[in-house]
């Protein structure tokens, strides 16, 4: 009969991170990981019409980094470029990663600094284009729907507000830096396009086509996520 230690030694772990990827033995033991997500979405340099960027960091109970990512949430300077869209894109990306890597049967704790987004998810009710506290734009609605769909696939998942009084973490600074990095990379790409484009109509059209390829709208991101 195989001992616990020898069975655990054969556990299917990622060679680079040493993280269990939910092998059959771990499933048999019903071992549940406690996983923490910290996410941030912000539109820089201003909310609505700036450059919406997202970032998130995922760690296990011991604090080991499982995954981190950042990027653009919407086409820059567009109506879809808002704080809310960026926050929801961060959540969609993080939850999709957890499901893909077989963490849906574990205990997931999500922390974010958007009171609006956290309350919308926890309340489970939204109002479109209203003065209500949980109002939601048409650009955000498909992302909210996607998050709620992903949420239903987890054994246990909670969403809590990350503020000055509670739930602050050392990762908060890193998430901010990741989001700013995404913003800088986006602005650099736009600047490079402007410098290489010239001023004739043909080059203007080419720049517009390239920018459409680089920066998907929130709706296009949603369709891409749904197709995966």
Residue 220: predicted pLDDT: 46
Mean pLDDT on 91-97: 97
Q: What is the pLDDT of residues 108-133, one digit of tens each?
A: 999 998 999 999 999 886 666 555 55
- Output the furthest CA–CA distance in the chain (Å, rounded): 76
Contact 142, 223 (CB under 8 A): no
Contact 74, 215 (CB under 8 A): yes
Is pLDDT at 166 greater than 50 in this prediction? yes
Tokens 């909670």 belong to residue: 158
Residue 68: predicted pLDDT: 94
For the chain, domain boundaries: 32-227
Question: What global pTM score does this model have?
Answer: 0.69
Is pLDDT at 199 greater than 70 in this prediction? no
Mean pLDDT on 196-223: 50
Is pLDDT at 46 greater than 50 in this prediction? yes
Instruction: Return the percentage of the chain with pLDDT > 90, whole number.
Output: 39
Query: CA-CA distance, 18 to 3, in Å (whole number)?
Result: 20
The CATH code belonging to domain 32-227 is 3.30.420.10
Phi-psi region of 21 (alpha: psi -120 to 50; beta: other; left: phi over 0): alpha
Mean pLDDT on 87-97: 97
């Amino acid at each position: 009969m195989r001992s616990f230690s020898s069975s655990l030694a054969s556990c299917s772990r990622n060679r680079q991170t040493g993280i269990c990827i939910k092998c059959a033995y771990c499933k048999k033991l019903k071992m549940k990981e406690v996983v923490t997500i910290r996410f941030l979405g912000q539109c820089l340099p201003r909310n609505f019409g700036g450059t919406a960027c997202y970032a998130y960091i995922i760690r296990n109970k011991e604090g080991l980094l499982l995954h981190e990512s950042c990027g653009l949430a919407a086409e820059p300077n567009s109506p879809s470029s808002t704080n809310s869209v960026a926050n929801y894109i961060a959540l969609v990306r993080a939850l999709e990663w957890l499901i893909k890597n077989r963490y849906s049967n574990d205990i997931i704790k999500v922390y974010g600094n958007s009171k609006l987004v956290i309350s919308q998810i926890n309340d489970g009710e939204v109002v479109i284009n209203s003065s209500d506290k949980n109002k939601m734009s048409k650009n955000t609605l498909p992302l909210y729907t996607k998050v709620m769909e992903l949420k239903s696939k987890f054994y246990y998942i909670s969403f809590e507000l990350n503020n000055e009084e509670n739930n602050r973490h050392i990762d908060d600074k890193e998430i901010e830096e990741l989001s700013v990095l995404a913003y800088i990379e986006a602005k650099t790409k736009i600047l490079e396009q402007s410098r290489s484009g010239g001023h004739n109509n043909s080059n203007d059209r080419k720049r517009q086509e390239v920018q459409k390829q680089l920066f998907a709208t929130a709706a296009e991101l949603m369709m891409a996520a749904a197709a995966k």
